[in-house]
Each structure stands twice: as structure tokens, then as C-alpha cells.
Structure 1
Amino acid sequence: MTADQALATRTIGDAGPRVAFVHGLFGQGRNWTTVARRLADPADGSGHRVTLVDLPNHGHSPWTDRVDYVDMAEQLAELLAGFGEPVTLVGHSMGGKVSMQLALRHPELLRALVVVDISPSVYPETGGRTDDPDEEASPFAAFITAMRAIDLTGLATREDADAALRAAVPSDMVRAFLLQSLVRDGTTGWRWRLNLPLLARDLGELRGFPEPPPGAVFEGPVLWISGADSTYVLDEDRPRMEELFPRVRLVRVKNAGHWVHSEAPEVFTEAVRRFLAQVEG
């Protein structure tokens, strides 16, 4: 990987076992800053070097000409290989799928794996996963449409952007999350740190999970964290997860949905901290 293709990262903590966090769709490494600071604290998280990764087409990482899970896993593997030590990899949603692909293709790079509210399954691009009429339909296509519809040339303030997104993104938390990727372009304009045209075109690719190499299994410890109110992890997902990751342990977090680490940050961080203590002990 050349320098202009390298993934952008930020590391918190100067010593201790290495942990890397990978965000989901529309995210960036900075989304994990609060969790990272706690895990890096020797008095609280037992001291870790925590690397926060921006995936391609997000944050400060390069834009590409396609969205592909195997491509992203290979880029991430090259980054982790440069650490020269086993890593505990934590991935949410899209980042969880990237992390699972890496674990199945380069298990030697990992000490352990944490998969957050996603499974090695195919998800609907629109609609829901259950027959429950109250289940929220997949909102990501609508999010992209709403973000692309904002006239950045005429945008005055971030508050105006927030107002423009409100109809398509009613959750204050999710709007704030999306708007972290809206930044000033110079002194007068605005730009998205998201490659929205590409994500719109290839959104269908993100719903899938590429077939792993024949016979691939990750034998290391795996913590599978799900929001109890989320439909991204269903009972029907467990057989495939257990087939590919035989040492997996599922933890469901009460009163949390898909963004479990934002909706229940204390519970999430403590679950990860305890898991790290087990696998590093």
C-alpha cells in the first residue's frame, strides 16, 4: 500500500496491549474516542494502546473507486501487520463485517475479536429483517439521499444542516453522528468527509458478506455485542456466526439498539474492558 492509499489512524495511549477500533457506515475513528480514552487509562482500562481507524471513503482516509469488504479487510490487515504484535480488533456494523473478513483471512494478526451489532449475514437494503410491523426499515439509503440533498454552497451553519436532515433522520443522536463528517472547506464552504456518491452507488454491496476462503474459521476468542432492541443480530444469525467463530460469546445490552456503544456507553465499555482482561490474562 502506498502512502496515499494508507488508512488514516489516531492512537491513544503510549503502552500496553494493542486494540484497534473500526467504525460503521458514515462513521470515522473519532467516534470511539471516549471508549479509547478509558481503555488507554492505566487506572481504569488497565492501559492499552488504542488505534482508531478511518475506513476508506470515510474520515481522513482515501476515497476509492468501489466499496468492497475484502478490499477493506486487506487494507486493514496491512495496517495491523505493521504493528508487529497481535491486536484485539473491535468493529461495529460495516466495520464489524470488515473485521470478521480480516479474522477469517489473516487470523495470525489478531489476539481476539469484538463484533458489535452485526453478523456474517445478508441484510436488506430497504425494509426490515422481521415480520414485526413496528420494526424500523433500513434507513441508510434515505440518510445518503438527505445528506446529498443539502446545498453545501448555500449552507450557512451546521445548525442549518441539522434542520435539513431532521425529516429523514429524526434521531438527534444519529443526526449528530452524521454531522461529525460535515466539515468546513476552507473559510467559506462545507464538504462531507464521506464519499456519498460512491456509497450511494455501492450500498447494495454493503448489505452482503463475501464468502470466506474455503474452510476458513477464526479459532480465537470473540465477543459479540448486540443491542437488545436491534434486529441486526437475530437468533437465526447464530448458527453461521458459531460456525465461523466457534469461540464466540454473545452479550445483549438492554435498552440499546444498533448504535449500542453510543446508547449504552458505560455498559459497552465495561463489557469490552472485561473481555480484554480475559484474553490478555
Structure 2
Amino acid sequence: MEGQCFPHEFWALEEVVRVRQDYLGRELPTFLPYAAFEALVGRFKGSCKQRALECLDETTGIVLEAANELVALYLGRYPRAAAVGGVCPAHRGYGGCSIKAGYYTKVAAIEDSDIFTNDHFSFRQHHAEFLTRLKRASLGLDNSSSWDQAQVESQLTPLSKLLGRGVSVDKFALGVPTGVDDELQLMAACLAYIKVSIKRMVDNVPLFIRNELLNDVADKKAVPKRLSEHLETVEAQGLLDEDARVVRTRAKLESRIQRLKAAVKLLGNPQALPQALIAG
């Protein structure tokens, strides 16, 4: 899901330059206009919602199929109930929930209407990764360029000796100033936030599925309760009052209790014991 939600279309550098200029105010150099960041991220908003809802719909179908099998297995223990039409809606109702009109739709709407994260660590980590890749690409040092990686690293060897520490291609790219550094910073920030936002959705969708669908199906004790909620008639509900095996077991136990009571009564009246043995 994460790979499908991440935007595959690209933002041309010229377009990012134009957006930054449109929103540029009194910011000092290296300070980016936040409105430009909002405008670029806003183009991504909503793109993940449709895929998430499709994922929920697909999962709902699978869960409902499993739930129907579970209900059929449970009703198999009630021969009379299985033959009553009023029980059938339970198959359709069990595990069903209005996903698009429910809690998740509200969560998706909040995600689309705001830009926020407290996960500063992940944001900074993704920002650094994207900025490095963007700087490499802008300098023609990306892996797909005509530059030979070994040749570039060999040319950095004298610089490493001069500085007394190793200089990688990534460090070199980040240290070289360009005329579009501000735009690259803006692009990296947008991509980093989108990455964090998608990760949040990737966690929320399965969590919602577990809470709204899977927990009930996984809880055997919830089956009778959910069935009784979706039965149409009182008569149909009455058919689920007793498990067939429980009825048979109860009858055996009641018969045993009666025999034990009779035995206790005989033990309390020793004179009647010989007659009972003869009658037995």
C-alpha cells in the first residue's frame, strides 16, 4: 500500500522554483516560505484515501466470507435454527460495517485537512535521505548518470587526505552549493512529510480493520451475541437459546441427578432397600 500511495508523478524543478517565488515573503536566505510547502503538499492530499478505501473494501469482502463460514459452522450446532429463514440475515450482518461512512472516513478527512506530525525523528531522517538524493541528481552524481561511481570516489581521495577524514559522494554532494539549494530543501521537506503521512496511513488502515472487523471474527464468544443482534424474529432468537449438545448433556445430567436422589432416599430408609433391589 505504501508504494501505491506514494506519488509517482514528479515535480519539475522549474515548477518548484515558481511556487517558491509565488509565496516568497520577507524570509531571510535559507528560510523557506511555509505556504509554499503547504501548496506543494496539498497536491498530494487525497491521493492515498481512495487506495485506502479500496483496501478496506477488499479486506471487508474477505472477512465477511470468513465470518459467514464461522456463522454457518456455529449454526450447524442448532439443527432447528438452521432451517429458519429469520436466521439468514445474521450471515449478512455479522462482521458488516459501514466503512466509508464510519470512523475511518473521518480520520482520512482529518489527514487531508491538516499538515502535522510529532514524529520529528522520522521526518528528519527522510528529509536527509531525500535531500541527499536530490543534491546528487542536481549535480549529476546519481547512479543513473554517466559518471562512474569508482571514478568519482577516486577523485575525492585527495580531498579526504586534505581534510583528514573520509569524504563520500553523498557528503560531497551536500557540501557543494547550487543555485537551487532552497528549492531542493523545499522538495525534500515535502517528500519527507508525504512519507511520514503515508506511514501513518499504513498503520491506521490495518488498525481500523482489526478494530472494526477482525476482533469480532476472532472472538468466539462474540458470535452468539452478534447473531442475536441480527435475527429478525423473537421465534428465531429462541432457537439459539440452547446448543444441541448442551441440551443432550443437560438431559443426561438431569437423569443422573434423579437417580442419585433416589439412591440417597433409599440409603436414608434401609428397610426399603431390599424391596428396591428386588424391584431393580
Taking structure 1 as the reference length, what is the TM-score of the superposition? 0.24
Question: Which has the higher relative contact order, 1 or 2, with Cα contacts under 8 A spaced 6 or more apart?
Answer: 2
More strand per residue: 1
Larger radius of gyration: 2
TM-score, scaled relative to structure 2: 0.24
Q: Greater helix percent: which structure?
A: 2
